[in-house]
Amino acid sequence: MELLVDILILLKNVAVAFLLSWINFFIPRRCKCVKGEIVLVTGAASGMGCDMILEFAKLGAITVAWDVNSHGLEDTKQLVEAVGGKCYTFVCDVSDRKQVKQVADQVRRQVGDVSILVNNAGVVFGKKLLELTDEEIERTMGVNLMAQIWTTKEFLPSMLENNHGHVVNMGSSAGLVGLSQLVDYSTSKFGVVGFTQTLNYELHFSGHDGVATTLVCPSFVKTGMFAGCKMEYPLILPDLEQHPTVMRIMQAILTNQTEIYLPRMVYPMVALKHVIPVAAMKEVIRFFRAHKFMEPFSRRKNMDDLQINTEE
Ligand X SMILES: NC(=O)c1ccc[n+]([C@@H]2O[C@H](COP(=O)([O-])OP(=O)(O)OC[C@H]3O[C@@H](n4cnc5c(N)ncnc54)[C@H](O)[C@@H]3O)[C@@H](O)[C@H]2O)c1
Residue 177 touching ligand X (CB under 6 A): no
Q: Rounded to the nearest whole angstrom, what is the least distance from the CB of residue 242 to ligand X in the complex?
A: 7
- Answer yes or no: are the C-beta atoms of 191 and 169 closer than 8 Å: no
For residue 12, the one-letter residue type is K
Catalytic residues: 185
Selected from 55, 67, 154, 184, the binder of ligand X by CB under 6 A is 67
Stretch that binds ligand X, among 12-20, 60-68, 203-211, 271-279 (CB under 6 A): 60-68
Stretch that binds ligand X, among 160-168, 198-206, 223-231, 285-293 (CB under 6 A): 223-231
Selected from 39, 42, 116, 257, the binder of ligand X by CB under 6 A is 42
Stretch that binds ligand X, among 44-52, 128-136, 201-209, 268-276 (CB under 6 A): 44-52
Q: Rounded to the nearest whole angstrom, what is the least distance from the CB of residue 93 to ligand X in the complex?
A: 4
The nearer residue to ligand X, 76 or 115, going by C-beta atoms, is: 76
Residue 43 touching ligand X (CB under 6 A): yes
Euclidean distance between CA atoms 234 and 86, whole angstroms: 38
Euclidean distance between CA atoms 150 and 30, whole angstroms: 31
Residue 191 touching ligand X (CB under 6 A): no
Q: Rounded to the nearest whole angstrom, what is the least distance from the CB of residue 204 to ligand X in the complex?
A: 25
Selected from 46, 89, 115, 140, the binder of ligand X by CB under 6 A is 46
Residue 213 touching ligand X (CB under 6 A): no
- For the chain, what is the HEC assignment? CHHHHHHHHHHHHHHHHHHHHHHHHHCCCCCCCCCCCEEEEECCCCHHHHHHHHHHHHCCCEEEEEECCHHHHHHHHHHHHHCCCEEEEEECCCCCHHHHHHHHHHHHHHCCCCCEEEECCCCCCCCCHHHCCHHHHHHHHHHHHHHHHHHHHHHHHHHHHHCCEEEEEECCHHHCCCCCCCHHHHHHHHHHHHHHHHHHHHHHHCCCCCEEEEEEEECCECCCCCCCCCCCCCCCCCCECHHHHHHHHHHHHHCCCCEEEECCCHHHHHHHHHHCCHHHHHHHHHHCCHHHCCCCCCCCHHHHHHCCCCCC
Write the interaction track for ligand X spanning residues 121-150; mark x where CB under 6 A is met and - where it is not.
xxx-------------------x-------
The rounded radius of gyration (Å) of the Cα atoms in the chain is 20
Selected from 48, 167, 176, 215, the binder of ligand X by CB under 6 A is 48
Residue 218 touching ligand X (CB under 6 A): yes
Q: Rounded to the nearest whole angstrom, what is the least distance from the CB of residue 186 to ligand X in the complex?
A: 11
Q: Rounded to the nearest whole angstrom, what is the least distance from the CB of residue 20 to ligand X in the complex?
A: 28
Residue 193 touching ligand X (CB under 6 A): no
Residue 306 touching ligand X (CB under 6 A): yes
Residue 68 touching ligand X (CB under 6 A): yes
Residue 269 touching ligand X (CB under 6 A): no
Selected from 220, 261, 293, 297, the binder of ligand X by CB under 6 A is 220
167 contacts: CB under 8 Å, gap ≥ 6: 117, 119, 152, 155, 156, 159, 196, 199, 211, 212, 213, 214
Q: Rounded to the nearest whole angstrom, what is the least distance from the CB of residue 130 to ligand X in the complex?
A: 22
* Contact residues: ligand X, CB under 6 A: 42-43, 45-49, 66-69, 72, 92-95, 120-123, 143, 170, 172, 218, 220-221, 223-226, 306
